[in-house]
Structure 1
Amino acid sequence: MTEHNRKELLHKTGELYKEFIENQDEQRAAKLAAVMNKAADEEVYIAFTGHYSAGKSSLLNCLLMENILPTSPIPTSANLVVIRNGEKRVRLHTTDGACAELEGAYRKDKVQQYCKDGEQIESVEIYDRYTEMDTGVAYIDTPGIDSTDDAHFLSAASILHQADALFYVVHYNHVHAEENVKFLRSIKESIPNVYFIVNQIDRHDESETRFEDYKAQVEEMLCSEGFSKDALYFTSVTEPNHPFNQIGVLRDELKGIEQQSKNNLQPLTEQKVRHLLKEHTEMLLKDETGGTSYAEQLITQTELVQSLRDQRDEMTKKATEAENKMQEEVNRILKNANLTPFEMRELAAEFLESQEPSFKTGFFFSKGKTAQERDRRRNAFFSDVKKRTEAEADWHIIDTFHKLAKAFDVHTAESEKLIQAYRTPLKIDIIELAVKHGAAFSSEYVLQYTKDLAELIRKEAKREAADIIKAISAMVKESVTKDMQTVNERLIQESEKLAILQEQAGLENNAREKADRIWAIWEDESACPRNIETDWFKTKKKTVAAPEQIRNQSHQTRQRNIKPEIMEQERPLQDQIKRFRILSDLLGEYNMLSKQTSAFQQRINRLEERKFTLALFGGFSSGKSSFANALVGERVLPSSPTPTTATINKITKPTNGSINKTADVVFKTEDDITAEILQLTGIKEEPTGRSFTEKWEKAIKKSRLQEEHVKLISNFLLAYEKVQPYIQEQKTLTIPLSDLKPYVAEEATACAVKEVTVYYTCPLTEKGITIVDTPGASSMNKRHTELAFQYMKDADAFFYMTYYQHSFSKGDRSFLQKLGLVKESLSMDKMFFVINAADLAKDRTELETVTDYVSAELVKEGIHDPQLFTVSSKEELQGKQESFYNQFPKVRKHLDRFIEVDVKKASAAQLSSEANKLCETVFQLHRSQHQSEEEKEAQKQRLMQSFARTAAEIEKRRSSETIIEKAKKDTKEQLYHITQRLSFFANDLLKSAFHPGLQNGDWKKNVAKAMKTAVHEYQFEYVQEIKTLDVRMSGFIERHIAEEWLESFQKILNEDGYFSIYAGDLHSNGIQLKEVEPDLDERVFEQEQKEIKSPKHFFEQKGKAAFIEAVRMKLNKITEHWVTKEEESLISHYTNHLRRLQEEMADKAMEQIKDQKDTYIEGYAEGEHAKEIEKAYQACISWQRSGHIIKM
């Protein structure tokens, strides 16, 4: 950059800086000063950003061959770190705007601690003589853009606009995370050179995925976002000689970028300034217009107001015109009506002739005949007159009235009735009224008579029509008055809008003039004054001493809640079952005990054959599938560094003729797919079409869908085409495991798959355990969510997987919070947490740091004393031995203990109690054999009394409302807490959804899109909350039923000692989770969005706070409405379920005590069973003496 050009640029930008400040755009003014400060120093900025824990700091240390920055698998970088080549020193910029310097020698560990201190330190500048770095270059390390700490994210975003090149670093296993695409889209226009680094390529396993396939997937993603595949690098810090490591190529590229950027400093600076100018001028317009151009709106509004005025004038005319128009039409019809045509004149002549005094008929009896003839002629003539009047006048008048009533918008039932009743009221004497007595009878007289008669008819018709005209006119006036009121009201409103638009158009013109002036300063040298200071961009900070470092207390070592090893004295369950069978076999041969021993045998069988479900949850790419493979000891499910599980996958032992190492694939129905598309895309109505394919192809063409939604529907259509017969006929597809991958890991096929069951024989599945591998816990797919919560409730145990270097994303936390809420309601702790890929640990100390961090984060989400393990699924599959980081053997032991002891313990305890009760029954019967008849009768009486008391107690519990009332109370309390939590959630959600980044692009569209996303997330959170309540209440019901029937009732039974009941496995009576369908359209918040006048008003004038509060309050009311509806439904749901359970328990109990009573009665019978009882007695004694009394 020449001195002249440099000064010219400084003067222009100095003037622009003043304009920015005058326009109250301090944010961009600061950015402009920073850009020019960098240009003045002639520095090249190369920024490194990306996922937290992706290895940015490690990569920078490697590139510079110095241990400069702190590194850790957990988030460490809490502020910006700028590394420069120069005299050794450190400059600290504090969050309160001061500056401190450490000159000369300093301790690296102390500086690294400052890099972690985001509370006190905003940024750290580190200077040293680095051999791998040129002077005039600054490397910038930022916190992770996906950090759950908002301060971290803002820190990362604050300097990126200055970068000449940006290297976006992602972890090998998280390339396809949604945050990557969002971030790349947001910055590609503002930074000239963007590069994509996939770090930790040493995690690649060629046996899982070919590197070329993996690379092609990443390249496809980059190209789809408009980036060159040449900007892609794969690196490894830990394995320099890895065959796919491009760290050397990256170093060379950096040198080239540094030199190229130095040579292009002025154009790069001008590009950044232009970008800021574009943003600032757009802001000016947005501040005044909200991103809307008012010119066209002004024209449209002016035309609308004029149109309303015209309508008003037309209505005024209409009220007066209606009567005139109807009168005119009636007059026209009557004038043109040929009421007395030529054909009628003959009848008229005959009538007139009969009216002559001389008229006479016949010779004999002529007087009577003459009168008759006169009547006939009069009636015939009048009848013809009436018909012709009706045809020539009445019908036409009626039709005209109908048309005019419609034309004047009064075609109602009332007007219809009035019009339809219209007839010219003719009486027979009308034909006589027109007769002129004394006139000579002639053809001329007949003609004149008919004319006179027609005129009389017209008068009658007009007189009758006048009443209808008056009535309809009144209707028109009434209608016009109402319409006029509406039009006048709207005219006032639209006129006010026009006035506002005229004012806004004026403001828009002013803003455009400002924008034009600013661009003129930049583009026209003559427009720029020369009295700008050359160092206007320098900021002076107060110098202070380096702040005291805050000791990091966030990850104190916690004793993880891992249960002790199985104690030797605890008897293995299989041994217990074997011994129960011995007793059953010993007593089963006696008829007297056959019912009880048969029931006992069935319960033993159920316990032995019971199947167990082990569900795997976790974020995308946390290694669930590889963990499942490690559990069974072979690569059964496809696993890869990209997200694979798009379906529910089960691994179980072969049953009912299924073959080992095959899989059954069940497909969704057309209705399932349609519902899923509607939910995921937000399309309001299902499209129409002759076929499934046609309607969705039409939707792609006609609907304004986002790119990802078009891809989603296209994938469904591809899948549908591949497996159409299976979808339409709902056939199950059976395939060998070698063909499994497309159905579970390739979205273009897997999206149509409902469920896959893999049949595989191994020690784990032989124990009756089914492993369920679920899609990512943060999935927004409604079906995935429903299944996740159903498994959360029904699974006997589940593992939540996290990844060693990427523990929790924002998406994981919501699900973990729900686990925290559920945990306390479970009858036993069936949650296990696993940190996968622990082989990445450098040493025990680092591993301890990560486990403490994960444990602390789980506690934050309400999961206290988590059972936490570290594993390496990769090494387990490779058959490597247990190490300090791989606790897979420990996982297996604890899983075995949990299934064999904890889960089955309750059932085994009940069987133990029943075994001892069987023996006690035999002992009682044996004692009765040595009693007198009187004693036996008394014993029998006591038995029957005990039976009656027990039966009465059972019936009392059958109809008890105690648990039901508790369930109602608990449901109401939980729903109250849900509304409270959702209110807090809404506040946080809206704060993050409506962020300053919305100013980039179309402000109104961005706000609308943000609202749509926020509403979708809020509904999803509500669904999760209700599902969580359902899971908690299911546990509540099981726990209270157990207390009512197994604990308190058993105590009552023990008092008499005659009877006992076996409740069975209450879990098997589980309740199906309720469907939840909140209906919320983001358009209900249109008014709140209209209140947002401009980005400036929103972000700088407390508009955001008012907006968030208004939306939150409306959401609260909507949620209260949902919850009120849900409360009634849920209480009914739980009440019905509880009543069914109580009925089942009572029926079971009655059946059991009847069988036990019958056994006693039969045993008391004299002599009949004496031998059997004696043998049974000896068997029980022998069984007990051999140590088979089970104490649980």
Structure 2
Amino acid sequence: MTDQNRKKLLHKTGELYKQFIENQDEQRAAKLAAVMKKAADEEVYIAFTGHYSAGKSSLLNCLLMENILPTSPIPTSANLVVIRNGEKRVRLHTTDGACAELEGAYQKDKVQQYCKDGEQIESVEIFDRYTEIDSGVAYIDTPGIDSTDDAHFLSAASILHQADALFYVVHYNHVHSEENVKFLRSIKESIPNVYFIVNQIDRHDETETKFGDYQAQVEEMLCNEGISKEALYFTSVTEPDHPFNQMEALREELRRIEKQSKSNMQALTEQKARNLLKEHTEMLKKDETGAPSFAEQLNIQTGLVQSLRDQLDEAEKQTTEAEKRMQEEINRILKNANLTPFEMRELAATFLESQEPSFKTGFFFSKAKTAQERDKRRNAFFSDVAKRTEAEADWHIIDTLHKLAKAFDVYTAESEKLIQTYRTPLDISIIERAVKHGAAFSSEYVLQYTKDLAELIRKEAKREAADIIKVLSAMVKERVSKDVQTINDRLVQESEKLVFLQEQARLENNAREKTDRLWAIWEEESACPMHIDTEWFKSKKTRVAAPEQKQGRSQLTAQPMPKSEIKMEQEMPLQDQIKRFYTLSDLLGECSMLLKQTSAFRERVKRLEERKFTLALFGGFSSGKSSFANALVGERVLPSSPTPTTGTINKITMPINGNLNKTADVVFKTEDDITAEILQLTGIPKEPAGRSFTEKWEKAVKKNRLQEEHVKLISNFLLAYEKYQQYIQEQKKLTIPLSELKPYVAEETTACAVKEVTVYYTCPLTEKGITIVDTPGASSMNKRHTELAFQYIKDADAFFYMTYYQHSFSKGDRSFLRKLGLVKESLSMDKMFFIINAADLAKDKTELETVTDYVSAELVKEGVYEPQLFTVSSKEELVGKPESFYNQFSKVRKHLDRFIEVDVKKASAAQLSTEADKLCETVFQLHQSQHQSREEKEAQKQRLMLSFERTAADIEKRRNSETIIEKVKKDTREQLYHITQRLSYFANDLLKSAFHPGLQNGDWKKNVSKAMTTAMHEYQFEYIQEIKTLDVRMSGFIERYINEEWLDHFQKTLNEDGYFSVYAGDQHSNGIQLKEVEPEIEERAFEQELKEIKSPKQFFEQKGKAAFIEAVRMKLTKITEAWIKNEEESLIFHYTAHLRRLQEDMGEKAIAQITDQKETYLRGYAEGEHAKEIEMAYQACISWKNSDNTIKM
């Protein structure tokens, strides 16, 4: 770099630095200073990044032949560490902008603690006379790019743009992570040399996969991303003599890079400075668009405590207080309701304009056209007003009235029905009543008009709510004679209010001027002052003493979660209880009049005893699901491999229906299944024409310009189809011995066409009726995999979530656990178990505890409190090694046994116990009747018949009740509203990441088109996941509503009556089948928006990207609203039809049961006919009741 060129560049970048600071972009200003300092020092930066816990720090220690950096299975490098050749010292850059230096000899363990302190230390520079690093070269260690700590990720990203060479390090078991591909695509064009290191090659097991096959798969993946196989290295730190270790070759390549010419330093420095300028102007564009992520949100939370008086004699005050409270709550909701937001004002303006006397439209201003246009604007505006009133007021009022009714103990079927009828009474005249005739049309008047309209709506809402409040208040007055529970510290609902950006026009103009000035500085020498300090980039940090180090094992983990121990009893009390149920049914079965009831009771006991259970395994690929399943059953049943193997659903179950042990049934996909999968994965818009399946897809490969990976995918399907055509077409099961299973599960040329494999295997676990389901990786984008995953989340009796010891809780884990978070409230019990697999890699107990504490803390962040967390070694369990401090398989089995035998069966056993007690009560009543006079028996019969009529009428009323139906309708509409909101934010983030500067490499138009296609597929996939989540949640809500209605309220009524009981059975088995949705986006939907993208410069440098994203996001929101509108009635029908079936089923069961019970009573009241049988049954019940029949859990 010549002195003249250097001086020019220093002037430009110095002025840009000042502008960055003025625009409050300190982060990029610091990056720009770092770029120029690197250029001035003429240094070569060699960066090491990749997955956290892939062994980057250990690898650097090995390369430098010295234990410099801290190592751990969890994220350790919380900040940047730069290693240079020089006089021995350590320089610490703190997060508050200061600098401290440790000169001369230092304690390594103390420096390593600084490397892990991300809170106080931003970066650490370590200098020493290292023989493995030349002067003028810096090795840089970064936090993992997939760390769940955003600060860690920003720390990694902040230095990578400066690197001259990047070594991307991955764990042997996580080469094929989607995160790798995304990162390589985003970074490879910014850095001259990109390398790929597969670390921990010592984990390779030649009996699972041949190394040559594994290497070929990795090379193919890199080739698809434009990285040559020469840039691939396999390394092992722990086994230097491993036959596949290429550590020495890696050292040679590092030496070559260190000695590379610095002749292109000027061009590289200019490119990096220009990239930072582009990023900065992008930031300004985001500010001016007012995108959702930049809109300020103000969260107002007010605490309101209202105490209700304890004294029962203050009824009037109690009633007044209830009415006042309800009015206050409604007023609060209406006050906070954003009824006329900014978006509505355009519609209001067009409506008001049409009300002006001078308003005319149409050809020659015809009256008909003018009237038509006025009607159109009036209707459009009113439709929006009605929609917003429902969303912003009605739903919240209904919810609040529900809560108030419950709080004041007046929540009944009648009050529920009354509340559900609430709607703010609006008609189209309301928008005309708010018009001030004669007022001049202006923006100020529009604003005032919307305020006046909001007040009119609030008045209507208050008037409508007042009628309901009066009824509820009257109900409170009737009930105040009962004990009134004091309500303390009642928390007022948190309300959200968006604060619109003020002076938006001024800010937009300001941002435009700033952007133009910045580019003028870069491109025109005359625009840049010449008095800039040429050493502006040098750090002016305050020198301070080294900060005090925090005490404790790690700043990365929260306090360890308390680990609950399950104390299993020596015997299984539930099994004893089942025997006792059988004993009672045998004894009472001898009584002919009880035959129907005891037979039904015995059948229910049998169902409980023989119930089948499903255990689903989830987790990212290569987390060890298949190995864990093998360890559970005690043999290598399913193939396991370091590359993704489970693209099918694999089940392990007990042999049934004549199936032989150690065999497997293979079910293939249909032609339609394969076609749908190819279309989804390749992006081919529609199924090609052809006389046969093979012909049409062979034509598709020739006709379409497909990527190499897509050509291979179709070729694999065609190979599998050719081999298994008969099974695919006729949908016949293929039965194979277990020894031949691997190709159908782990080899893509066969497994791609396999839908499901069921392995029949006898072992203690399957003999208990447990079926293990091994699912595809949690991060799979396959639509069928997603549907199955949600189905198993809903229906499985229990599921294990697997994570890998040296890569615990990655972003893939977090993403899937967030999906679980959306449905967790609908799960009836805690059926989630969390497993840290491959715990044999732990060096000692301290390290293991560090990992488990870290995972526990991360789970808590996702809302999973007191997780059932275990560490295991599937590998050691399979070979029969005894349990150690890291292998908790025996605890896993104990917890699983208890969960299945106790928790899952508890509800059914409790119902059976209640039914057994009711059978005995029936016998006791019949026995008592034997000692009654004829008159007493007749009176008893009359009471029985009256009770039967009342109960039957109650059943009929509940069976035909619309109360729960209306509740489900309201829940569905509200959930759909929130789905639209979430997807709007998702679209914004998706488009920002999809349209990145890397698209400039190659064919610009083609890359943009491909990015749009990919983004739309992801958006559709997200919509599908939202609907699947809705299905699971609504299924849980409906189950809860049914239980409340029939098991809580109705059973309480029956208990008060004393004659009858109803056994509800297991409603979960009748759950909703997840709804199939097919969201479609027309190929030409965004044709106009794509046309607006003229060039990369226009897109990235002239506000094109911001405008494009906002236009696409708004259109996507409208498309989503159309999807929702199209699905809404169907979904409501879907859920309410299911609910009606449940109500009908419950009604039929209840009527049949009380009819049988009535007939039993009537036969027992007959004169002496069954006296002997009743006496025997009576003695049996006395004996049974006197013995211990408690279910111990």
- Same fold (TM > 0.5): yes
Which residue number in structure 2 is paired with residue 145 of structure 1?
A: 145
> What is the identity, as a one-letter code, of the residue corresponding to 1:651?
I
- 1:957-1036 matched pairs, under 5 angstroms: 957-1036=958-1037
Residue pairs, 1:512-591, within 5 angstroms: 539-545=538-544, 548=547, 555-560=557-562, 562=564, 564-566=566-568, 572-591=573-592
User: What corresponds to 2:658 in structure 1?
Assistant: 657
Q: 1:1022/1:895 Cα in 2 relative to 1: closer, same or farther (>3 Å)?
A: same
Q: Deviations over 1:487-530 (max 9, x none)?
A: xxxxxxxxxxxxxxxxxxxxxxxx9xx99x99xxxxxxxxxxxx
How many Å apart are 1:1056 and its aligned residue?
2.8
Cα deviation, residue 878, structure 1: 2.2
User: 766-775 or 1046-1055, which moves further after superposition?
Assistant: 1046-1055
CA RMSD of aligned residues (A): 3.8
**In the TM superposition, what is the alpha-carbon distance from 1:83 to its structure 2 partner?**
0.5
Q: Deviations over 1:122-154 (max 9, x none)?
A: 543210233554444422212323345565445
Matches of 2:630 and 2:278, distance apart in 1: 54
Alpha-carbon spacing, 1:1181–1:262, altered in 2? closer, same or farther (3 Å) = closer
1:849 aligns with 2:826: no
Which structure is larger by alpha-carbon Rg, 1 or 2? 1
Range moving further from structure 2, 869-878 or 1141-1150: 869-878
Partner-residue secondary structure (3-state), 2:826: coil
Map Cα deviations across residues 867-913 of structure 1 (whole Å, 9 max, x no partner): 22222222221222333322221111111111111111111111111
Q: Distance in 2 between matches of 1:227 and 1:1093?
A: 30
Give the equivalent residue in structure 1 for 2:924.
Answer: 923
- The answer on 1:203 being equivalent to 2:199 is no
**Quick one: distance in 2 between partners of 1:1179 and 1:969?**
51
Summarize the Cα distance change of 1:190–1:970 in structure 2 as closer, same or farther, 3 Å threshold. closer
2:46: which partner in 1? 46
Unaligned runs of 5+ in 2: 21-26, 284-518
Q: CA deviation at 1:780?
A: 1.1
Q: Matched residues in 2 for 1:182 and 1:812: separation? A: 17
Deviation at 1:53, TM superposition (A): 1.8
Q: What does residue 633 of structure 2 align with?
A: 632
Which amino acid is 2:84 matched to?
R
CA contact (8 A) 1:92 1:100 kept: yes
Using the alignment, how far apart are the partners of 1:1082 and 1:121 within structure 2? 50
> Percent sequence identity over matched residues?
79
Q: Which residue of 2 aligns with 1:1156?
A: 1157
Change (3 A) 1:257 1:28: farther
Q: In the alignment, is the contact (CA less than 8 A) between 1:618 and 1:812 conserved in 2?
A: yes
User: Deviation digits for residues 524-581 of structure 1, max 9, x if unmatched?
Assistant: xxxxxxx99998897454444368579675522142574643457x953222212211
Check conservation: 1:667, 1:730, Cα contact below 8 A. yes
Deviation at 1:733? 0.4
Distance 1:576 1:889 in 2: 26
Distance 1:582 1:229, change over 3 A: same
Cα deviation, residue 1067, structure 1: 1.0
Counterpart in the other structure of 1:706: 707
Given that residues 79 and 116 in structure 1 are in contact (C-alpha distance below 8 angstroms), is that contact kept between their aligned partners in structure 2?
Answer: yes
Aligned to 2:256: 260
Tell me how far 1:66 sits from its aligned partner.
2.9
In the TM superposition, 1:352-431 aligns within 5 A as: none
Which residue number in structure 2 is paired with residue 342 of structure 1? Answer: none
Aligned counterparts of 2:120 and 2:1000: Cα–Cα separation in 1: 29
Q: Name the residue aligned to 1:385.
A: none
Distance 1:1078 1:1052 in 2: 46
Deviation at 1:767, TM superposition (A): 0.9
CA offset digits 1:1090-1149 (Å, max 9, x no partner): 555665665566665554444433333333333333332222111111111111111111
Query: In the alignment, what sits opposite 2:440?
Result: none
Could you tell me which residue of structure 1 aligns to residue 91 of structure 2?
Answer: 91
The structural deviation recorded for 1:853 is 2.5
Inter-partner Cα distance in structure 1 for 2:141 and 2:652: 44
Between the aligned partners of 2:1187 and 2:91, the Cα distance in structure 1 is 80
Instruction: State how far apart, in whole Å, the 2-side matches of 1:1112 and 1:748 are.
Output: 39
Q: Which residue matches 1:1054?
A: 1055
Residue pairs, 1:24-173, within 5 angstroms? 43-93=43-93, 100-116=100-116, 122-148=122-148, 152-153=152-153, 155-157=155-157, 159-160=159-160, 163=163, 165-173=165-173
Q: Give the equivalent residue in structure 2 for 1:234.
A: 234
For residues 124 and 1100 of structure 2, the distance between their equivalents in structure 1, rounded to whole angstroms, comes to 28
Note if contact 2:85-2:127 (Cα within 8 Å) is conserved in structure 1.
yes
SS in structure 2 at match of 1:642: coil
Q: Following TM superposition, by how much is the alpha carbon of 1:789 offset from its aligned partner in structure 2, in angstroms? A: 0.6
Residues 225, 1134 of structure 1: alpha-carbon distance in 2 compared, 3 angstrom cutoff: closer
Residues 204 and 135 from structure 1, CA distance in 2 versus in 1: closer, same or farther, beyond 3 angstroms?
Answer: same
Matches within 5 A, 1:703-852: 703-852=704-853
AA aligned opposite 1:927: Q
Alpha-carbon shift at residue 205 of structure 1 (Å):
3.3
Matches within 5 A, 1:242-257: 243-244=242-243, 246=245, 249-250=246-247, 252-257=248-253
Q: Using the TM superposition, give the Cα deviation of residue 196 of structure 1 relative to its aligned residue in structure 2, in angstroms.
A: 2.9
Mapped partners of 1:1170, 1:279: distance in 2? 97
CA distance in 1, matches of 2:1019, 2:109: 44
The answer (yes or no) to whether the contact 1:11–1:532 under 8 Å persists in 2 is no
In the superposition, relative to structure 1, how do residues 115 and 993 fare at CA in structure 2: closer, same or farther (>3 Å)? farther
**C-alpha displacement of 1:666:** 0.6
Letter in 2 for 1:724: Q
Is 2:35–2:273's contact at 8 Å kept on the other side of the alignment?
no
Deviation at 1:768, TM superposition (A): 0.8
Partner SS, residue 830 of structure 2: coil
* Within-5 A mapping of 1:930-949: 930-949=931-950
Task: Give the structure-2-normalised TM-score.
Answer: 0.73
Moved more, 1083-1092 or 1112-1121: 1083-1092
Question: Matches of 2:189 and 2:986 in 1, distance apart?
Answer: 33
Indicate if the aligned counterparts of 2:683 and 2:1013 stay in contact, CA closer than 8 A. Answer: no
Question: Cα distance 1:983–1:148, how it changes in 2: closer, same or farther (>3 A)?
Answer: farther
Structure 1 unaligned runs (5+)? 1-7, 288-510, 519-530
Partner residue in 2 for 1:1170: 1171
Q: 1:983 to 1:36 in 2, by over 3 A?
A: closer
- The aligned residue for residue 398 of structure 1 is none
**Distance of 2:249 and 2:42 partners within structure 1:** 20
Residues 844 and 1093 of structure 1, relative CA distance in 2, 3 Å threshold: farther
Per-residue CA shift, 1:98-129, capped at 9, x if unaligned? 65533334454554444345566554321023
What is aligned with 1:611? 612
Measure the CA separation in 1 of the matches of 2:1004 and 2:14: 22
Alignment-derived partner of residue 318 in structure 1: none
Tell me the distance in 2 between the aligned counterparts of 1:1124 and 1:907. 40
Equivalent-residue separation in structure 2 for 1:28 and 1:1038 (angstroms): 53
Q: From the superposition, tell whether residues 545 and 1116 of structure 1 become closer, same or farther in structure 2 (CA, over 3 Å).
A: farther
SS state at 1:1084 partner = coil
Question: How far apart are the structure 1 equivalents of 2:591 and 2:61?
Answer: 81
Asked whether the equivalents of residues 662 and 736 of structure 1 are also in contact (C-alpha less than 8 Å), the reply is yes
Equivalent AA in structure 1 for residue 239 of structure 2: P
Encode CA deviations 1:1048-1098: one digit per residue, 9 max, x unaligned. 212222223222111111111111011122223475344445555665665
**Range with greater deviation from structure 2 (918-927 or 657-666):** 918-927
* Corresponding residue of 1:859: 860
Equivalent AA in structure 2 for residue 84 of structure 1: R
| Contact 2:102–2:546 under 8 Å retained in 1 | no
Alpha-carbon distance, 1:714 to partner:
2.0
Taking a change above 3 Å as real, the CA distance of residues 192 and 1090 of structure 1, as seen in their structure-2 partners, is closer
In the other structure, the counterpart of 1:686 is: 687
Q: Distance in 1 between matches of 2:539 and 2:996?
A: 29
Letter paired with 1:87:
E
TM-score normalised to structure 1 length? 0.73
Residue identity opposite 1:115 in structure 2: C
